[in-house]
Amino acid sequence: MSESLPLKARINHAVLELIEGDITKQDTDAIVNAANSSLLGGGGVDGAIHRAAGPELLEETRALGGCQTGDAKISRGYHLKARHVIHTVGPIYGGSDSARLLASAYRRSLEVAQENNIHTIAFPSLSTGAYGYPVDQAAPIALETVCRFLQGDHNIQLVRFVLFNSAILQQFSKALAHQIQQQPGIVLPA
Ligand code: ADP
């Protein structure tokens, strides 16, 4: 990957970072699950999180009563390193509302983190697996939404995007470079 593409930025008192890796291994206060609206588990990130957290997670999410597209709900993390899982439902790509709902899924996850005193949070690339959102369209929405949130009033210290392969990481890095140009107040750490 080109050396000139950024993997880290400072926004207000928060750090935003992009890494290649596995969301289930993160030791942030919370990890975000790319869930479906039943909150009863699924494939991709959802399946990996439920496997790593253990069956207690399903017991808890069963009682949450589902989650609407663009919204987020919180549970404990059980056998994960992360103390909490924030379950959000991104849109299935294609509807006229896809972009708004994808932004909403990121924003609601951060609001739920804020309400629960979570300071460090890791996101996967929502909706870009089974839900079919092209990464080159999803990454700018993800980065713009998170950067705007971090420019407001909040207690978040770290937002880490955990991207599953180098191609996804590169798309997110391009989108971060664009945000750094567009939004004043985003700085690259020295
Ligand atoms: P959705 O249903 O919202 O599309 P998926 O879980 O199918 O969610 O995929 C979302 C993204 O997460 C995809 O880019 C996929 O490659 C990636 N992914 C799958 N497993 C993991 C994992 N363990 N850690 C991080 N990212 C993952």
What range defines the domain where residue 71 resides?
2-185
How far is the centre of ligand 1, averaged over its atoms, from the C-alpha of 12 (Å)? 29
Asked if residue 190 is part of any domain, the answer here is no
Rounded distance, CA 92 to CA 131, Å?
4
> 47: buried, middle or exposed (CB in 10 Å: 19+, 13-18, 0-12)?
exposed
Asked if residue 126 is part of any domain, the answer here is yes
Query: Considering only 1-10, 111-120, 140-149, 171-180, which range has the smallest mean pLDDT?
Result: 1-10
Q: Take atom 17 of ligand 1 and give the residue whose Cα is closest.
A: 164
Asked if residue 152 is part of any domain, the answer here is yes
Asked if residue 151 is part of any domain, the answer here is yes
Q: Take atom 7 of ligand 1 and give the residue whose Cα is closest.
A: 129
How far is the centre of ligand 1, averaged over its atoms, from the C-alpha of 20 (Å)? 12
Asked if residue 133 is part of any domain, the answer here is yes
Question: In the structure, which protein residues have their CB atom closer than 6 angstroms to any atom of ligand 1?
Answer: 22-24, 34, 44-46, 48, 90, 124-131, 162, 164, 168
In this prediction, residue 189 carries a pLDDT of: 77
How far is the centre of ligand 1, averaged over its atoms, from the C-alpha of 190 (Å)? 31
Rounded distance, CA 113 to CA 30, Å?
8
pLDDT band at 92 (very low <50, low <70, confident <90, very high): very high
Residue carrying structure tokens 């009863």: 40
Asked if residue 27 is part of any domain, the answer here is yes
Task: Give residue-wise pLDDT tens across range 46-89.
Answer: 999 999 999 999 999 999 999 999 999 999 999 999 999 999 99
To the nearest 10°, the Cα dihedral for 99, 104, 105, 108?
170
Residue 25 has pLDDT above 90, yes or no: yes
State the average pLDDT over residues 117-142: 98
> Total domain count for the chain?
1
**157 phi-psi bin (left φ>0, alpha ψ -120 to 50, beta other):** alpha
For the domain that residue 70 is a member of, what is the CATH number?
3.40.220.10
Asked if residue 156 is part of any domain, the answer here is yes
Task: Give residue-wise pLDDT tens across range 170-190.
Answer: 999 999 999 999 988 898 876
Closest residue by Cα to residue 31 from 156, 150, 168, 123: 123
Ligand 1, residues 98, 133, 164: which to mutate, most atoms within 8 A of Cβ?
A: 164
Asked if residue 37 is part of any domain, the answer here is yes
Task: Give residue-wise pLDDT tens across range 28-39.
Answer: 999 999 999 999
Ligand 1, residues 23, 38, 45, 127: which to mutate, most atoms within 8 A of Cβ?
A: 45
**Closest ligand 1 atom to Cα of 165:** 16
